[in-house]
Amino acid sequence: MKRNLGKIIALSLLTASVFTIGGNCVYAKEYVGKPDVNKIILTDGEPLTINVTTKTFQDSGYWADYALGNDFYYDGCKIVNVDVDGDINLNVDLTESNGQAGGVEVQSKDFQYSEEADMKIHSNGNINMAISSNIDPNNPYINQCDLNGIISRYRGNAQISAEKGIKVNVQSSSTSAYGVRATYGIIGMEAQNIEINTQAPDGKINAAINSQSNGDIKINAQEQLSAQSKGNLAYTIYAWGGKVDIKSTSNNIKSDFTGILAYDDRAKNDGSVNLIADDVNEVTATNTALFGHEYGTINLEAKKNIINSDNYAAFARLGSSVSIKSSELTQMTGNVHAETDSVVNVNYDSQDSFLKGFVTTKNATTNLGFTNGALWTMTGNSNVTNLKADGVLIDMTKNDKGNAGKLTVDRTLTGTGSSFVLDLDAANKNNKQESATSDYIYLNGTSEGAHNILFDVEASKISTDMNVGDKLYFAYVQDSNATFDSAVNLEKVSAENIYNYKYGVDSDVNADKQGNDWYIGLTDKTENENVSSVDGAMKAGYALGTEMDRLNKRLGESRYLTDEKGLWVRYRHA
């Protein structure tokens, strides 16, 4: 890689602290006894501002332009120390290039990592980086161009800290964009608040935080980390064979595409993301919030974890794992998917915790735990490997996100006292499976607990479309341990007829396979108060008729006592 140095600019207390350059890397060259140590030290609240306007288009080769750099490979500088009492402002505008540009770069002596290079940047105020590009999309070298806020390569070690805040903003109209990027390198960041934003055009990858090829990024924000990536290939946290560890009071991750991606094709646990918060982790993405791919690992730990996606809240495949641990609250909107030896672990352990989505498991493991009044609103057919349902509500009825027809628990159901809300339809009577209008629960492994079902009795039409002997099946329990009852009063489901219909929940042995089938059946049919009302009305009518008959008879016979002539007819009540 070539570097467009032009000239080396020396910074010291005797020079200005605002520099505007074109197409140059800026290095500190104030020697303090050692030729391999460079320093920029500004005191008394003085800020450091470097503006880079680069227009370095070359015929061939690969060029790089950064506001602050330490390239041990090209410049023989092992350590750079930047310590500024005021703010540090790095502004880079790339208009034409066939290489890289950005705010901070550090690179070791050689590609074999024989000696590391260090860069330490500290501000007693804020560190602000504004990196932008506007390269002609017809530029023949456009695919070689990248924008980077902070990049560390080949065991370069960049440590960036500020007493207040760090803000990295990378906006590209034509190239890929990365906020913080470690490629075989190390980056550490620490401040009260850290904000990283990237944006790239459609078809160009952009990531706010990117660790790849054994890269290692550690971020510590005392108050909040906020990271956002925009574009149809946006990965806000992108661990591709590298590690990302983030610790903060609260973490807010947003993406137009994927919130967090962890990938490690060598199965060495290098592709990993740990997002730890003392208070809350919030991840919002249009497509997939948490994506574990090919042995990658994603771990979220906080008091409260809030995950929102229009598609998948968690997706794991090819030996990867996604784990969400919350001590107080878990709220997830979006689906959960695991396939091909992957694992997803999530707990929902409070009344305000919920999952709104469906769960699919294909040759993988999903472990979901719902306790203490949590809610699962199913938006489609779901199968879970291990489900804990202890005093919770699982709603399978139609909702604004979809409609579930069946829930399958493949291995274990633990817990007791949960309620399953079902759509049931008497048209599916005597069938031991779900239909388009009647839901079903399959417990195919071990089970426990006494659970309830809730359903709309009137909508189910059991009082009009079921006779004695009919059974409306709703669950299969392979080991016969879990039991069901109705949370709906089935003693009297119709008062419009002259009979009371008594229904009950019971089970019978499955003749074709081991286990029990649970159903709702008509157990009793007795006359209700309407019968006595009808009987009384009939007797009153009869009495009235017979009395009128006798009266007519007497009135007729009285005509014989008069001298009136004519035909006498007697009408008799019958």
Question: What's the confidence (pLDDT) of residue 494?
Answer: 54
> For the segment 334-385, what is each residue's pLDDT rounded down to a tens digit?
999 999 999 999 999 999 999 999 999 999 999 999 999 999 999 999 999 9
Question: What's the confidence (pLDDT) of residue 190?
Answer: 98
pLDDT higher than 90, residue 468: no
pLDDT higher than 60, residue 210: yes
Average pLDDT of span 1-22: 38
pLDDT higher than 50, residue 128: yes
Instruction: Looking at mean pLDDT, say which of 25-29, 211-215, 300-304 comes out highest.
Output: 300-304
pLDDT higher than 70, residue 64: no
65 vs 507, residue with greater confidence = 507
pLDDT higher than 70, residue 305: yes
Question: What's the confidence (pLDDT) of residue 396?
Answer: 96
Q: Which residues contact 146 (CB under 8 A, 6 or more apart)?
A: 100, 101, 102, 175, 176, 177, 178
Question: What's the confidence (pLDDT) of residue 269?
Answer: 60
Q: What is the DSSP letter of 25?
A: -
Average pLDDT, the chain: 83
Rounded-to-integer distance, Cα 162 and Cα 139, Å: 37
pLDDT higher than 80, residue 39: no
Half-sphere exposure of 454 (CA within 13 A, CB side): 11
Question: What's the confidence (pLDDT) of residue 3?
Answer: 39
pLDDT higher than 80, residue 66: no
- Per-residue CA distances from 23 to 55, 76, 412 (Å): 6, 20, 63
Residue 78's pLDDT band (cuts 50, 70, 90): low
Minimum mean pLDDT range among 268-272, 285-289, 324-328, 359-363: 268-272
Rounded-to-integer distance, Cα 92 and Cα 90, Å: 7
Q: What are the b/e assignments for 453-491, b being 16+ CB within 10 Å?
A: bbbebeebbbbeebeeeebbbbbbbbbeebbbeeebebe
Question: What's the confidence (pLDDT) of residue 22?
Answer: 42
Q: What is the DSSP letter of 543?
A: H
Residue 16's pLDDT band (cuts 50, 70, 90): very low
Average pLDDT of span 537-547: 53
Rounded-to-integer distance, Cα 110 and Cα 106, Å: 12
Question: What's the confidence (pLDDT) of residue 5?
Answer: 31
Cα 151-156-159 angle, rounded to 5 deg:
70
Residue bearing tokens 């608040």: 193
pLDDT higher than 60, residue 552: no
Rounded-to-integer distance, Cα 127 and Cα 176, Å: 23
pLDDT higher than 90, residue 150: yes
94 vs 328, residue with greater confidence = 328
- Dihedral sign, CA of 379, 382, 384, 389? positive
Rounded-to-integer distance, Cα 122 and Cα 218, Å: 16
pLDDT higher than 60, residue 474: yes
